[in-house]
Structure 1
Amino acid sequence: MDAILSGAELVFNLQTLAVILAAAAFGMFVGAIPGLTATMAVALLVPVTYFMAPIPAIAAMVTTAAVTIFAGDIPGAYLRIPGTPSSAAYVDEAYAFSQRGKASECLGIALVCSVTGGIIGTLVLIFVAPSLAEFALNFSAFEYFWLALLGLSCAVFISPGSHLKAVLSLCIGLSLATVGLDSTTGSPRFTFGVTDLMGGVNFIPVMIGLFAIAEVMRFTAKPADTQAVTVKDTGSVFGEVKPSLRKYWKSVLRGSGTGSLIGVLPGAGSDIAAWVSYAVSRKFSRTPEKFGSGHSEGIVETSSSNNAAVSGSWVPALVFGIPGDTITAVVIGVLYMKGMNPGPAIFMEGGSMVYALFMVFIIANLVMLPVGYVAIRLGKGFVATPTRIVMPIVLAFCIVGAYSINNSTVDVMLMLGAGVAAYGLGRAGFPAAPIILGLVLGGMLEKSFMSAMIRSNGDLLAFFSRPISASLGALVIMIWLLPSLIRLTRWATAYRHRVNA
């Protein structure tokens, strides 16, 4: 009890609460700008934390990460441009809401579910962190290979339209992932003498190009009399929250659980959690045909999963010092700098600091409600701005965001090239989302496969030799075969009806 009270004193003071509020506003601003990710927002705060006490410093990073993930939904709903990669999984769903005049209602649902998922993920962190982290440590290259394939499979099956076109888009992303140094031999591939490509194709400029630049080009290509933003936002922010939560409360729990589990897996993070949760939601839905047309079920589950994964990624970071995602990779350095060395000892020796950290997680998610509400209301004014003013501003932010990553003009060229390609592919009916997921997961897929093959001396059956690996492999193969089995079942049913007739 003394440790809990001491931890409360570290959190509930004017300095820490002011830092949390300022970090929430900063995260909301960064997340709403296409291309500026939660990782970038947290990294920008590192120099500032040198001048802070340990708890305010960690509070700033926790709050910024949580709020930025939600804020990425705002430009996705209003402009069909995801602010962060984790928002790309359901950007079409959110934008369909706004086309029906319900952007605020969509964002209100996402806001409340993000807070709920974040708190559930925090409870997972508090109560079952050691056991979940121990489970994640059992993952080897075999399991990560199947996990990457699972994410790639989800990208194909949740894409609207032709699955064949989704597969081809996915192959484009996987091809981009091969650029750079070979993960096994270290030799350069497809760099064409460009030094900046030795580290590979950065997915952030490509993501900005695929979604933001392509959207700017689509607006520009419209006739002058149709270039106005057509969103009619007549709903209230929390108008549909209660009925949606009452109807889809199981989806909230399932999304929060999925996000927490995926967040625990080192390197997975909220991006993969969003894709998997959206696919799971569509799979178990009683009305899967409504997905893509502005259906709240997908928003409920995926937005819950997003922030649950943010909290879940802290499990391996705190318990074993293994970063759960790129955000916690940055934060681990700050923890060491502040004397809070990650590892099992932090729970035995941290005392009040650990309890203070848990309280910070809960407060950071709760503060999203008022800050997010204000951001949603201000978003209406942004949408009401004439397109001829909005789109140049979006383009300027995109260029600055792409350049600021590595201070490289090559990233700007990649962004523009991806935008032009996405515009042409979109006119031909090819989805853009599988491209970015193939680029993000391609490196993990290749590295895991090569490591597993070296470890097993080229034996492919080794991918089924471990219980977890075999389970994941069976799940992936089942997903692949499911469409064929469904078609075969329908054909057999129709054939029996014809015979009986």
Structure 2
Amino acid sequence: MTEFILPSLLNLADPLSIFLMVAGLAGGIVIGALPGLSATMGVALMVPITFAMSPAQGLVMLGAIYVGAIYGGANSAILICTPGTPSSVATTFDGWPLTQQGKADSALYTSLLASAFGGIVGVCFLLFLAAPLARFALKFGGPENFWLCLFGLSTIAVMSPGNMGKGVVSGAIGLLVATIGLDPNVGVPRFTFGNYGLMQGISVIPCMIGLFSFSQVLYLVGTNKTFVAEYNPHSGTFMQVCRHLSGRCKAILLRSSLIGSWVGMLPGAGGEIASIIAYNESKRWSKTPEMYGKGCIEGVAASESANNAVIGGALIPLLTLGIPGSAVAAVILGALMAHGIQPGFKIFTETGTLAYTFIFSQFAVNLLVVPVGFALCRCMARLLTIRLTYVAISIVTLSFIGAYAIANSMVDVWTVVVFGFVGYFGGKVGMDAGAMALGVILGPMIEENLGKCLDLAHSVDGGLPAIMFGGPINKVLIAALLLSLSTPFLLRLKRLRKQELKAAHRFQREHKMKGGERHA
């Protein structure tokens, strides 16, 4: 390893490499912030351009776009309640309320710094623990992924403790929507009503655009607001956020980054699962869980540090085993193979300079994201100073273009419209769009992994129970699932206990005051 460090650093010091990192990062942030344009799309579009570059420079640029796009999704999630990428869904829970309170700059700076921190932690895992973590990732099969997805889905109970019934119903509707299309196990069409466009199911990104973006436009247009939200920038906000994160949020940032790195290295898992689990754990261990969902900086920090740490984790199985940990990693795998490079452990010996140039570039990009993101988020925050009419028209136009660009299908455009009205009218009756989004995202994963478990049950003694409940990883995940489901009840008992203590203290004070008056 040591013999590759100096050549790798010299490659990064090349002016062209620095330019590619900054340009790729800026382009990725813009792509991530636009509804419908995902990190996968941005990286895939730029792969042909890398054929005119050296493999190292091509990887540096693709890696920068990857980091920028994942971070960029937070900007639209905070400013217009529209997750630019699915991994930013949890960021809307507290980012948008902060914007409505006139604290958009605080939320933007929190997402920026948390993203940089999470990305660096993920790259540290990639650099120092790639081999053992890759071997651990291979132990995750159908049963383990099934319980992991159920654990992610159980966060619905924590997300809506005040109205768990409507939260569960919202999640169930999302799961029902996820069953539209071909059955992943037997290939039978379900709920397509003879429409060929629905054979592939409901795409996640158009559904997210409808639930969060289009529905929000309908809500804003129905109000008397002149602007999307109040924007009151304050001098010194960036330093205040820095002090807050380095003080009260240290444990949250570290825990969420570790969760993101761990989930990212599991093939099939992604930033959406990592950010949801991190948000759930942050709320579970918080001393003030009732503040989450109402504009809590800790919630934004947990979500953003986790989904950016996923990047380093997703690259672990890619570089060590040749198994992509995410859709973007699969595109990067294709780019490597197009350059004649086969990922695996040999990449660290036969083309060690290339591998370590890529890894060190991820360090550099996550450091550069702070100044580049700082400049861009200040520009994007000006969106709140534009009249609502123009913003609404722009959001709707970009939503339709982004949805159509995914598969050149009008079905995706109609999906945006339908789920926009579902999100709008569902919000009127107290339905939870976040819970519904979780059902849509996690439903196909749960069904696919359950099918794998049923197939494995035919070849193992003990059948399905042995598959589902055997093994230490399954038992740990089941215990975490049960703890997650019991959290709302534990939080309620904790809240009742606090109220009883306050009532007892108040009674004691009143009793002492009355005793003093009698003595006087």
SS at match of 2:155: helix
- 1:230 matched to 2:243? The reply is no
Contact 2:231 2:384 in 1 (8 A): no
Change (3 A) 1:330 1:159: farther
Runs of 4+ in 1 over 4 A off after TM superposition: 484-495
CA deviation profile, 1:26-48 (whole Å, cap 9, x unmatched) = 11111111222211211221222
Counterpart-to-counterpart distance in 2, 1:157 and 1:301: 15
How much does 1:152 deviate?
0.6
Counterpart-to-counterpart distance in 2, 1:369 and 1:62: 16
Deviates more, 1:386-395 or 1:457-466: 457-466
Counterpart-to-counterpart distance in 2, 1:491 and 1:453: 43
Query: Which residue is 1:470 aligned to?
Result: 475
Counterpart-to-counterpart distance in 2, 1:359 and 1:438: 37
Contact 1:155 1:275 in 2 (8 A): no
Query: Which residue is 1:436 aligned to?
Result: 437
Query: Which residue is 2:195 aligned to?
Result: 194
Structure 1 residue runs of 5 or longer lacking an equivalent are none
Of structures 1 and 2, the larger Rg is shown by 2
Change (3 A) 1:175 1:4: same
Deviates more, 1:4-13 or 1:264-273: 4-13
Query: Which residue is 2:330 aligned to?
Result: 329
SS at match of 2:90: helix
CA deviation profile, 1:6-42 (whole Å, cap 9, x unmatched) = 2222222122111111111111111111222211211
Deviates more, 1:209-218 or 1:331-340: 331-340
How much does 1:5 deviate?
1.8
Change (3 A) 1:65 1:187: same
Could you state the TM-score of these two structures normalised by the residue count of structure 2?
Answer: 0.91
Query: Which residue is 1:388 aligned to?
Result: 389
Contact 2:197 2:411 in 1 (8 A): yes
Counterpart-to-counterpart distance in 1, 2:451 and 2:45: 34
Change (3 A) 1:492 1:296: closer
CA deviation profile, 1:414-442 (whole Å, cap 9, x unmatched) = 11111011111011110111222211111
- Amino acid corresponding to residue 143 of structure 1 in structure 2: E
- Matching of residues 53-452 of structure 1 within 5 Å: 53-159=54-160, 161-223=162-224, 226-235=225-234, 236-452=237-453
Contact 1:141 1:452 in 2 (8 A): yes
- Amino acid corresponding to residue 230 of structure 1 in structure 2: A
Counterpart-to-counterpart distance in 1, 2:364 and 2:84: 23
- Amino acid corresponding to residue 280 of structure 2 in structure 1: A
Could you state the TM-score of these two structures normalised by the residue count of structure 1?
Answer: 0.94
Change (3 A) 1:292 1:353: same
CA deviation profile, 1:168-197 (whole Å, cap 9, x unmatched) = 111111111111111121121111222222
Query: Which residue is 1:479 aligned to?
Result: 484
The root-mean-square deviation of aligned C-alpha atoms, in Å, is 2.1
Contact 2:456 2:467 in 1 (8 A): no
Contact 1:4 1:352 in 2 (8 A): yes
Counterpart-to-counterpart distance in 1, 2:106 and 2:341: 41
Contact 1:78 1:95 in 2 (8 A): yes
- Amino acid corresponding to residue 432 of structure 1 in structure 2: A
Counterpart-to-counterpart distance in 2, 1:144 and 1:243: 35
Change (3 A) 1:63 1:459: same
Contact 2:101 2:230 in 1 (8 A): yes
Counterpart-to-counterpart distance in 2, 1:344 and 1:139: 20
SS at match of 1:349: coil
- Amino acid corresponding to residue 467 of structure 1 in structure 2: P
- Amino acid corresponding to residue 233 of structure 1 in structure 2: N
- Amino acid corresponding to residue 129 of structure 2 in structure 1: V
How much does 1:494 deviate?
11
Counterpart-to-counterpart distance in 2, 1:492 and 1:240: 32
Contact 2:78 2:91 in 1 (8 A): no
Change (3 A) 1:407 1:32: same
Contact 1:105 1:238 in 2 (8 A): no
SS at match of 2:268: coil
Contact 1:403 1:412 in 2 (8 A): yes
Query: Which residue is 1:459 aligned to?
Result: 464
Change (3 A) 1:277 1:288: same
How much does 1:322 deviate?
1.0
Change (3 A) 1:420 1:10: same
Contact 2:142 2:453 in 1 (8 A): yes
Deviates more, 1:375-384 or 1:421-430: 375-384
Structure 2 residue runs of 5 or longer lacking an equivalent are 505-520
Counterpart-to-counterpart distance in 1, 2:496 and 2:384: 48
Contact 1:105 1:241 in 2 (8 A): no
Change (3 A) 1:450 1:11: same
Counterpart-to-counterpart distance in 1, 2:291 and 2:437: 24
Number of matched residues? 495
How much does 1:460 deviate?
3.1
- Amino acid corresponding to residue 376 of structure 1 in structure 2: C
